[in-house]
């Protein structure tokens, strides 16, 4: 194979390069330009002032010394992990199930219904979830009428239940949507593999296990690596909408802490310091996951 | 085949780009109102203007028709201002005749924007970007805007262009000044004029459903009996119109957490002081020293009682998880027997009950205290200095804005936006008292109707007369005693007779209290990033974590959780907050007495 020069490559693939320009402009404007705001993390930033006071690492010291920090860190990691594990297993499971459905119409209906919640905003989804879990909601009505419990359980007042409400709420909202990418990966598996496996006497589950799953392994790994970068982002909408004083011990995440002590107290510097900490940790996690995957599974993102 | 595919993709990319550009352009002018530059009509007018007799403008004719004073704004070019309000709500209907008339007369349109989402976050974003509305009402949260230099200074503007506003504010002029000596906020509540009428209590109280009171024929004497009444009634009526009966509601959401926090302070005979406890609450000419209100002997028994009633099934854990909207919806079901709140905070929840004529499900206030304590639930309207409208320093025409407010504060105009149109919404009777026709009384019992047909929104959101006019009539229909009694429903009249009371406050023992100038502490705001500010947030967080938990924890764990709470409180640096309050009390005294 002949090695081409870079310039020639660019000219040959000019359409592709042209198409990537908007994305690069977007990333530059929204991801790189704001980086100059990181300076705020080392200041006692006051809005609408020309000169700012530099305070070194004071904001970081405040952050790591606060007793609440470890609590919110634990909550964030806990919810992220639950979300990651539940999210992956349910989506892969559902994708495999949908793939096995023979009747096209039924398949389409299942797919459409399962990814409908994805299009709801969290405000609405949270209202539906809290209605579902309320003392007069459908879940309690069923439990009480079947005699499983005597009085309704107030799920949202139980701080030990919050992580799981968060996890399963997320599953309900996004499982259908997450299957799309796996279903797409499954279609690229050569049908001949299935045919020959069938001839060799492989049953349905054997085919799923030995052909479909290995066939989408690289997709799964790439997605896991990418999601490692998001592990400190357990979000704040769900926690803000479904959390309350009774569950605050388990529902307050890093982002909520930043809102309370950073944004709401107009301590923008603290919020920035927290953002910086999250970004740096995410990059480390991402690189580590990528390295591990390259090492053990010979798959990698970069 | 391949080529056409490329074309299609290229087309897609281009159309997405175009869409993006269009969207970006669209948001450019969405943020701030684009008021057309106006001829600077106002800057020359200072003294009482003379109306031109020829070529009368539409606004001038309308003012004459409604008997309102002349304003040079009637000849000015139309202008639009936006106004942000810190509460959720809906703007008045565009067909509102009163607001429409004011718009035509002053050529000034106010575009009301209500809160969506979280107030604190909204304020922080506004502050950081410096991009906010022309007018805004933030309640006690306005201070950072003043500290950041984003507010329009009002002293000179009022002195030069707003004689009526200036004289309205003259009793409090010195108290209105910010720490830098400038006035930024035009108080919209707590500037009383004339005589005070109190027919209804709108502040803090324990509230009980009328049907419960009807059942027992009297008010409960103390907190124990209050819950006894609720328990007994709930046993007799496990459901109300199909909805399971709820004994007692405690709202905990956001800044409305005062429903959970304030009752013990009132039970111990204090007024609505806020985040600190004055050691001498009637110290008029010397600032009182301040203690923590969370560590007092009387704080614990209240939450212990709530805990007990939670285990008795009168307080549902679900009540503590409710958002403000859920809370209002719960009250609107008519199944709530009791709560502790301020009427303005939950009144909208009772609106549907009134509309359905379920008067027996609305509530009456009862000022419960600990034994031997004199209740102080009622205030004489006092100046707080923190409930004002602030103006954006980048407002398109400051003079027009101040002239608009100056027009609204004039007595005939203020009466017009509060009572409505003479001859339609009200009339003068033979004794010169303002009266409403019966059908108006019925219509006005619903708040939504008032929003859409009277000038209530303008009256509420701008500096106003509160109390009485020069002729002795009250400034609102609710305050006018004859109107209040005539507007009572037959059900209420009967119930009041049975209970032996005259009006809504009849069951209360409080006498309107007169407070020192530094009352209340909740109206004090501290500089961003100051120790007091941080301590405030910490105390609030600790209260959120523990007080709610204390209500539902197992009874045998209450004491240990209380001790844990007290330990956590000790680590918040609350003293910083209390010291700052003491300091600010002294500053207010100095301003008031000119030291």
Q: Which CATH number goes with the domain that contains A180?
A: 1.10.3720.10
Report the gap between the CA of B127 and the closest CA in chain A (Å). Answer: 7
User: Are B545 and A47 within 8 A, CB to CB?
Assistant: no
Q: Which residues of A touch B10 (CB under 8 A)?
A: 15
- Nearest residue, CB atoms, A244 vs list B6, B148, B321: B321
Question: How far, in Å, CA of A38 to CA of A279, rounded?
Answer: 11
Whether chain A has a CB inside 8 Å of the CB on B537: the answer is yes
Beta bridge partners of B390: B136, B185
Report the gap between the CA of A139 and the closest CA in chain B (Å). Answer: 15
Q: Which structural domain, as residue segments, surrounds residue A232?
A: 61-297
Report the gap between the CA of A34 and the closest CA in chain B (Å). Answer: 14
The whole-number pLDDT of residue A268 equals 87
Report the gap between the CA of B308 and the closest CA in chain A (Å). Answer: 17
User: Do the domain assignments include residue A22?
Assistant: no
User: Do the domain assignments include residue A50?
Assistant: no
Angle A162-187/A67-100 helices, nearest 10 degrees?
40
User: Are B320 and A156 within 8 A, CB to CB?
Assistant: no
- Domains of chain B in start order, with CATH, are 60-195+384-467 (3.40.190.10), 204-377+488-593 (3.40.190.10)
Query: To probe the interface with A, which of B117, B121, B321 has the most A CB atoms within 10 Å?
Result: B321
User: Are A246 and B130 within 8 A, CB to CB?
Assistant: no
The whole-number pLDDT of residue B548 equals 93
Q: Which residue of B has its CA nearest to A244?
A: B321
- Nearest residue, CB atoms, A157 vs list B148, B150, B318: B318
The whole-number pLDDT of residue B17 equals 55
The whole-number pLDDT of residue B442 equals 86
Evaluate the CA torsion angle B331, B336, B342, B343 in order and state its sign. Answer: positive
Q: Which residue of B has its CA nearest to A47?
A: B128
DSSP states of B484-495: HHHTS-HHHHHH
The whole-number pLDDT of residue A1 equals 47
CA B476 to chain centre: 16
Total domains, chain A: 1
State pLDDT tens for residues A104-149. Answer: 899 999 999 998 999 999 989 998 999 899 888 899 999 999 988 8
Q: Which residues of A touch B316 (CB under 8 A)?
A: 135, 154
Asked whether B434 and B428 are in contact (CB, 8 A), the reply is yes
Q: Which residue of A has its CA nearest to B11?
A: A19
State pLDDT tens for residues B32-65. Answer: 333 433 334 434 444 455 666 667 888 999 999 9
Question: How far, in Å, CA of A177 to CA of A125, rounded?
Answer: 15
Instruction: Scan residues 216-245 of B and list those with Cβ closer than 8 Å to A.
Output: 244
ipTM for the whole complex: 0.75
| pTM attached to this predicted model | 0.79
In whole angstroms, how far apart are CA B412 and each of A166, B70, B159, B463? 57, 11, 22, 14
The whole-number pLDDT of residue B52 equals 62
The whole-number pLDDT of residue B40 equals 41
User: Do the domain assignments include residue A23?
Assistant: no
Q: Which residue of A has its CA nearest to B116?
A: A123
Question: How far, in Å, CA of B573 to CA of B538, rounded?
Answer: 8
Query: To probe the interface with B, which of A14, A47, A268 has the most B CB atoms within 10 Å?
Result: A47
- Nearest residue, CB atoms, A267 vs list B252, B321, B529: B529
Q: Which residues of B touch A249 (CB under 8 A)?
A: 545
Query: To probe the interface with A, which of B10, B117, B124, B144 has the most A CB atoms within 10 Å?
Result: B124
Report the gap between the CA of B412 and the closest CA in chain A (Å). Answer: 41
Q: What is the pLDDT along chain A (302 residues), one digit of tens a residue?
A: 456 678 888 888 889 989 999 999 999 999 899 888 899 899 888 887 778 888 889 889 988 888 788 889 999 999 999 999 999 999 999 999 998 888 889 999 999 999 899 999 998 999 899 989 988 889 999 999 998 888 888 898 888 999 999 999 999 999 999 999 999 999 889 989 988 998 988 888 898 899 999 999 888 888 888 888 888 888 888 998 888 888 888 999 988 888 888 888 888 898 899 889 988 988 898 888 888 888 877 766 66
- Nearest residue, CB atoms, B318 vs list A19, A22, A135: A135
Report the gap between the CA of B62 and the closest CA in chain A (Å). Answer: 44
Average pLDDT of chain B to the nearest whole number: 88
Whether chain A has a CB inside 8 Å of the CB on B284: the answer is no
Half-sphere exposure of residue B244: CA atoms within 13 angstroms, side-chain side:
10
Report the gap between the CA of B7 and the closest CA in chain A (Å). Answer: 10
- Nearest residue, CB atoms, A268 vs list B10, B128, B130: B128
Q: Which residues of B touch A16 (CB under 8 A)?
A: none
Q: Write out the residues of chain A at the interface with chain B, using a CB-CB cutoff of 8 A.
A: 15, 19, 22, 44, 46-49, 68, 130, 134-136, 154, 156-157, 240, 244-249, 259-261, 263-268
CA B227 to chain centre: 29
User: Are B318 and A47 within 8 A, CB to CB?
Assistant: no
Q: Which residue of B has its CA nearest to A242?
A: B321
B174 DSSP 8-state letter: T
Question: How far, in Å, CA of B245 to CA of B231, rounded?
Answer: 10
Whether chain A has a CB inside 8 Å of the CB on B17: the answer is yes
* Count of A-B CB contacts under 8 Å: 90
Q: Which residues of A touch B533 (CB under 8 A)?
A: 265
Q: Which residue of A has its CA nearest to B531?
A: A265
Residue B94 burial (C-beta neighbours within 10 Å; 0-12, 13-18, 19+) = exposed
- Measured at the CA of A220, the angle between CA A214 and CA A224, to 5 degrees, comes to 145
B514 DSSP 8-state letter: P
Report the gap between the CA of B509 and the closest CA in chain A (Å). Answer: 34
Question: How far, in Å, CA of A8 to CA of A128, rounded?
Answer: 56
The percent helix, strand, coil of chain B (3-state, each to 5) is: 50, 10, 40
The stretches in chain B having pLDDT less than 50 are: 1, 22-47
The whole-number pLDDT of residue A117 equals 93
């Amino acid at each position: 194979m002949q090695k081409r020069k870079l310039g020639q490559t660019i000219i040959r693939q000019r359409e592709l390069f042209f198409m990537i320009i908007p994305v690069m402009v977007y990333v530059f404007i929204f991801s790189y330009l704001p980086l100059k705001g990181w300076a705020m993390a080392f200041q006692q930033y006051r809005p609408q002032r020309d000169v700012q006071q530099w305070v070194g690492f004071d904001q970081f010291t405040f952050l790591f010394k606060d007793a609440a920090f470890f609590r919110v860190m634990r909550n964030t990691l806990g919810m992220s992990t639950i979300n990651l594990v539940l999210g992956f297993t349910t989506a892969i499971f559902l994708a495999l199930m949908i793939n096995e459905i023979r009747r096209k119409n039924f398949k389409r209906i299942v797919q459409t219904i399962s990814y409908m919640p994805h299009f709801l905003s969290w405000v609405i989804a949270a209202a539906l979830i809290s209605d579902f879990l309320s003392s007069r909601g459908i879940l309690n009505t069923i439990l009480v009428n079947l005699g499983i419990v005597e009085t309704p359980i107030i799920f949202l007042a139980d701080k030990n239940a919050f992580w799981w409400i968060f996890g399963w709420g997320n599953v309900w909202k996004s499982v259908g949507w997450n299957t799309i990418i796996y279903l797409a990966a499954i279609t690229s598996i050569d049908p001949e593999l299935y045919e020959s496996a069938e001839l060799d006497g492989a049953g349905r589950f054997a085919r799923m296990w030995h052909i479909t799953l290995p066939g989408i392994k690289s997709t799964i790994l790439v997605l896991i690596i990418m999601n490692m970068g998001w592990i400190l982002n357990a979000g704040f909408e769900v926690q803000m909408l479904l959390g309350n004083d009774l569950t605050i011990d388990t529902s307050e995440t890093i982002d909520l802490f930043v809102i309370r002590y950073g944004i709401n107290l107009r301590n923008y510097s603290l919020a920035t310091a927290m953002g910086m900490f999250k970004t740096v940790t995410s990059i480390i996690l991402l690189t580590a996951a990528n390295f591990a995957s390259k090492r053990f599974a010979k798959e990698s993102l970069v | 085949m391949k080529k056409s595919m490329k074309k299609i993709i290229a087309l897609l990319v281009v159309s997405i780009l175009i869409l993006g550009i269009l969207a970006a352009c669209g948001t450019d002018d969405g943020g701030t109102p684009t008021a057309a530059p106006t001829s600077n009509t106002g800057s020359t007018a200072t003294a009482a203007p003379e109306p031109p007799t020829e070529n009368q403008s539409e606004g001038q004719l309308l003012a004459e028709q409604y008997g309102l004073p002349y304003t040079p704004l009637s000849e000015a070019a139309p202008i639009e201002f936006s106004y942000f309000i810190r509460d959720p709500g809906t703007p008045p209907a565009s067909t509102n005749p009163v607001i429409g008339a004011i718009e035509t007369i002053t050529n000034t349109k106010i575009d009301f924007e209500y809160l969506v989402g979280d107030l604190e976050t909204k304020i922080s974003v506004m502050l950081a970007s410096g991009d906010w509305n022309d007018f805004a009402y933030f309640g006690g949260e306005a201070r950072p805007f003043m500290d950041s230099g984003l507010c329009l200074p009002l002293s000179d503007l009022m002195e030069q262009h707003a004689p009526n506003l200036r004289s309205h504010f003259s009793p409090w002029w010195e108290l209105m000044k910010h720490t830098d000596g400038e006035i930024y906020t035009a108080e919209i509540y707590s500037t009383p004029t004339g005589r005070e009428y109190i027919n209804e209590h709108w502040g803090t109280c324990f509230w009980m459903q009328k049907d419960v009171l009807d059942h027992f024929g009297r008010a409960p004497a103390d907190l124990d009996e209050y819950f006894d009444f609720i328990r007994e009634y709930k046993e007799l009526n496990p459901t109300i119109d199909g909805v399971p009966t709820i004994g007692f509601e405690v709202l905990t959401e956001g800044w409305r957490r005062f429903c959970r926090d304030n009752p013990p302070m009132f039970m111990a005979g204090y007024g609505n002081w806020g985040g600190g406890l004055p050691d001498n609450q009637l110290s008029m000419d010397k600032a009182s020293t301040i203690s923590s209100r969370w560590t007092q002997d009387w704080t614990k028994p209240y939450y212990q009682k709530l805990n007990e009633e939670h285990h008795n099934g009168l307080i549902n854990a679900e009540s503590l998880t409710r958002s403000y909207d859920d809370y209002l919806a719960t009250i609107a079901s008519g199944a709530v027997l009791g709560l502790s709140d301020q009427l303005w905070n939950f009144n909208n929840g009772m609106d549907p009950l009134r509309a359905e004529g379920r008067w027996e499900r609305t509530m009456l206030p009862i000022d419960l205290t600990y034994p031997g304590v004199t209740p102080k639930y009622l205030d004489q309207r006092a100046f707080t200095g923190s409930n004002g409208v602030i103006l954006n320093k980048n407002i398109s025409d400051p003079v027009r804005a101040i002239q608009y407010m100056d027009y609204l504060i004039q007595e005939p105009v203020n009466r017009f936006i509060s009572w409505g149109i003479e001859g339609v919404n009200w009339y003068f009777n033979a004794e010169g008292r303002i009266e409403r026709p019966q059908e108006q009384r019925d219509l006005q019992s619903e708040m939504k109707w008032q929003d859409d047909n009277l000038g209530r929104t303008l009256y509420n959101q701008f500096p106003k007369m509160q109390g009485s006019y020069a002729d002795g009539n009250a400034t609102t229909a609710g305050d006018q005693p004859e109107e209040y009694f005539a507007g009572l429903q037959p059900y209420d009249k009967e119930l009041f007779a049975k209970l032996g009371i005259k009006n809504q406050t009849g069951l209360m023992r409080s006498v309107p209290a007169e407070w020192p100038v530094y009352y209340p502490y909740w109206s004090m705001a501290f500089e961003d990033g100051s120790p007091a500010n941080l301590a405030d947030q910490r105390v609030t967080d600790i209260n959120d974590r523990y007080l709610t938990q204390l209500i539902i924890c197992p009874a045998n764990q209450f004491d240990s959780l209380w001790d844990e709470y007290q330990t956590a409180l000790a680590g918040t640096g609350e003293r910083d907050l209390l010291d700052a309050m003491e300091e600010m009390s002294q500053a207010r005294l100095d301003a008031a007495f000119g030291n």
